[in-house]
Amino acid sequence: MVIRWKEQRQDKKITSSVYTFEDIVKDDFLYVDKTEYIWSLIGQGKAMYFLSRPRRFGKSLTVSTLKAVFQGKKDLFKGLAIYDKPYDWKPYPVIHLDMGNCQAKTPEELKLYLARILESQCAEHQVKVKVQQEALSASFEDFINIVAGNGRAVILLDEYDKPILNTLTTPEALACRDVLRGFYSSIKKCEAKERFVFVTGVSKFCHVSLFSELNNLTDITMNRDYATMFGYTQSEFEAYFADRIDSACKQLNMPCEELLPEIKLWYDGYRFHAKAESVYNPVSLAQFFMNDAEFNNYWFSTGTPSFLMELTKKADFNFEKTLSEPVMGLAFNAFEIDKIDPLALLLQTGYLTIKSSFVDLGETLYYLDFPNREVKSAFETYLISDYTSIPQETVGANVFKMVKAIKARDVNLFMELLKTFFAAVQYDVATDTKGRFQLLFYSVFLLIGVRVEAESRTNNGRIDAVICDGDYVYIFEFKLNQTAGIALEQIREKEYFRKYQHSGKKIVLVGANFDTISRQLSEWKSEAVR
């Protein structure tokens, strides 16, 4: 793609809150030219697409850009890639449905919201349709046909899944799904009257689950050609933000060759195809420069994933296994609302991403990880805070003390500090399995910045957790309602340490016991291998 950055003045204002293309152009905000992708979508004639991306990644701006194109507003695109393309700029009636503001939690509230959206669209297009809450599909069909007239209409559906995510962990989820399924089915029924359809959202539900009849959409979510359509590539970042990068270097008294890798570590790393380039989060970059080049968690603070926290807790989701073992491509598949896979949802919502891939026996396997430091630290902090009664700001302070303890090789102090986290586990969190204790343990270590290898295999069994830090290896065995001594004895008997004896590192064995009655890390014992 040609980056026409010289035509984008470096003194343009930056925004992270304006998502209307026309406003960005008229108010002289910086716009990173993605219209080459827009041309690719619309230049083939009649087309219908589905694409999911994490929140705050430019989906609404893209929908707004498509709207301006199909309204024939060519002058807005002067200087952009699409301007000189062989396109007739014929105006079409554009039906723009934005579900992003939907707060409905019941089927009745959802029907009311959809009815109001249709009534608003009727007013915008100056048509009369009798909108009936109990016949929304028929009302929507009538509206599409009337708006299209003797021609064809464009349908842009933004944040299609917001009403589902509102109720994802509640008994109302399936009923709300059924309401949406009936409403969205009208798009397929009116296909003959449509020039272009674009549906976008955060998650990817099964066609059977939500789009029972809308199976004519081309899913480009994992299409390599569109992997960098949202977010900024490295070249886009350095071109469009060149002056601001220079200013940040001066402000932080840091040379460019040091600052750029640091910014990349914090805000880059999202990859939407195994062979595609990674991209930066646009909101995080904008906030970084708007806040005087201060490194902070910007994207995460725009919305807390409470439904994800609840799902990971209910499923005893094993983060360590997910981040250390390859997963099959099935992990990226859509899922049923009543059979939610936390891994699929974590991938779709941007909390995990593709880091690398390889082919084994004809099957492509993927290694996953947090995209960057921003997501990793914020997510783990939030996870720990959600499990415990410890405020998020206190979590960071306690973690700092634990870092100092492990660097000082003070196992007892470290375990005492760890105990404070378990002491604060909320009583509505089930602690009847070792896995739930291990999840908190693993999350704490992720925050410390130490990779934990859980369920590590040996020729004589599986080690509960292994931590490598510098020239030290710590081998952990956990027990539930037993004793630390029994845990330590198991490490000795099964000789878990043999796996690491040729590493040249000092080996420390740690046995610990979780008590489900007191909901505590009740005791621990440690010893060095000689």
User: What stretch of H or E contains 404?
Assistant: helix 392-407
Domain limit, last residue, from 205, 226, 247:
226
Q: 434: closest CA among 465, 393, 397?
A: 465
**Residue 356 sits in the same domain as residue 443:** no
Q: What percent of the chain has a predicted confidence (pLDDT) above 70?
A: 85
The edge-to-edge listing of strands for the beta sheet with 472-480 is 452-458, 461-469, 472-480, 506-515, 520-528
Domain limit, last residue, from 369, 402, 422:
369
**Residue 362 sits in the same domain as residue 394:** no
pLDDT at 431 over 60: no
pLDDT at 153 over 80: yes
**Residue 344 sits in the same domain as residue 215:** no
Q: Which of 18-32, 194-208, 221-235 has the lowest mean pLDDT?
A: 194-208
pLDDT at 355 over 50: yes
**Residue 400 sits in the same domain as residue 362:** no
CA separation for the pair 101, 446 (Å, rounded):
34
For 461-518, what is each residue's pLDDT tens digit?
677 788 888 888 899 898 888 999 999 999 999 888 888 888 889 999 999 998 888 7
Residue 107 domain-assigned (yes or no): yes
Residue 91 domain-assigned (yes or no): yes
Q: 203: closest CA among 370, 348, 51?
A: 348
How many domains in the chain?
Answer: 3
**Residue 322 sits in the same domain as residue 194:** no
**Residue 398 sits in the same domain as residue 348:** no
Q: Which of 89-98, 275-284, 441-450, 451-460 has the lowest mean pLDDT?
A: 451-460
Q: What percent of the chain has a predicted confidence (pLDDT) above 90?
A: 50
Q: Which of 111-115, 272-276, 385-389 has the lowest mean pLDDT?
A: 385-389
Dig out the tokens for 213 from the structure: 């009849």
pLDDT at 422 over 90: no
Q: Name which residue leads in pLDDT, 500 or 443.
A: 500
pLDDT at 433 over 70: no
CA 248 to chain centre: 27
Please give the single-letter amino acid code of residue 452.
V
Dig out the tokens for 220 from the structure: 């480009």
Mean pLDDT of the chain: 85
CA separation for the pair 76, 79 (Å, rounded):
9
**Residue 220 sits in the same domain as residue 359:** no
Q: How many CA atoms lie within 13 A of 196 on its CB side?
A: 23
pLDDT at 216 over 70: yes
What string of H, E and C letters represents the secondary structure of 465-511?
A: EEEEECCEEEEEEEEECCCHHHHHHHHHHHCHHHHHCCCCCEEEEEE
**Residue 392 sits in the same domain as residue 474:** yes
CA separation for the pair 401, 414 (Å, rounded):
8
CA separation for the pair 48, 216 (Å, rounded):
7
Residue 514 domain-assigned (yes or no): yes
Neighbours of 137 (CB within 10 A): 17
| 3-class secondary structure, 12 | coil
pLDDT category of residue 1 using cuts at 50, 70 and 90? very low
Packing angle between helix 434-448 and helix 373-387, nearest 10 degrees?
140
Dig out the tokens for 437 from the structure: 């204790």
pLDDT category of residue 43 using cuts at 50, 70 and 90? confident
Burial class from Cβ neighbours inside 10 Å (0-12, 13-18, 19+) for residue 64 reads: buried
pLDDT at 426 over 80: no
Q: Name which residue leads in pLDDT, 181 or 33.
A: 33
| CA-to-CA separations, 162 to 157, 179, 233, 358, in angstroms, rounded | 11, 13, 27, 34
CA separation for the pair 421, 399 (Å, rounded):
10
CA separation for the pair 330, 311 (Å, rounded):
19
Residue 166 domain-assigned (yes or no): yes
| CA-to-CA separations, 98 to 70, 113, 157, 198, 217, in angstroms, rounded | 17, 11, 6, 12, 18
Residue 493 domain-assigned (yes or no): yes
For 70-98, what is each residue's pLDDT tens digit?
999 999 999 999 999 999 999 999 999 99
Whether 110 contacts 118, CB under 8 Å = no
Residue 235 domain-assigned (yes or no): no
For 2-36, what is each residue's pLDDT tens digit?
344 444 445 688 988 888 999 999 999 999 999 99
Structural domain for 510, as ranges: 388-528
Q: Which of 121-125, 207-211, 273-277 has the lowest mean pLDDT?
A: 207-211
pLDDT category of residue 457 using cuts at 50, 70 and 90? low
**Residue 393 sits in the same domain as residue 467:** yes
Query: According to the model, what pLDDT value does residue 442 have?
Result: 72
Give this prediction's pTM.
Answer: 0.82
Query: According to the model, what pLDDT value does residue 527 have?
Result: 93
**Residue 348 sits in the same domain as residue 401:** no
Q: Which of 101-110, 115-124, 202-211, 277-286 has the lowest mean pLDDT?
A: 202-211
Q: 113: closest CA among 155, 167, 64?
A: 167
**Residue 222 sits in the same domain as residue 130:** yes
Write 463-471 long-range contacts (CB < 8 A, 24+). 463/491, 463/496, 463/499, 464/438, 465/320, 465/438, 465/441, 466/500, 468/505, 469/406, 469/407, 471/504, 471/505, 471/506
pLDDT at 298 over 60: yes
Domain limit, last residue, from 203, 226, 249:
226
CA-based radius of gyration for the chain:
26
For 236-252, what is each residue's pLDDT tens digit?
999 999 999 999 999 99
Residue 339 domain-assigned (yes or no): yes
Query: According to the model, what pLDDT value does residue 525 have?
Result: 94
Cβ neighbours for 389, distance < 8 A, ≥ 6 positions apart: 424, 426
Query: According to the model, what pLDDT value does residue 305 have?
Result: 61
CA 391 to chain centre: 23
User: The domain that contains 424 carries what CATH number?
Assistant: 3.40.1350
Question: Which of 380-406 are b and which e, b meaning 16 or more Cβ less than 10 Å from the residue's Cβ?
Answer: bbbbbbbbbebeeebbeebbeebbebb
**Residue 41 sits in the same domain as residue 111:** yes
| CA-to-CA separations, 421 to 313, 336, 384, in angstroms, rounded | 16, 35, 8
Q: Name which residue leads in pLDDT, 214 or 96.
A: 96
Mean pLDDT of 252-261: 96
Residue 280 domain-assigned (yes or no): no
Q: What are the start-end ranges of the E strands in 293-403? A: 327-328, 353-360, 363-369
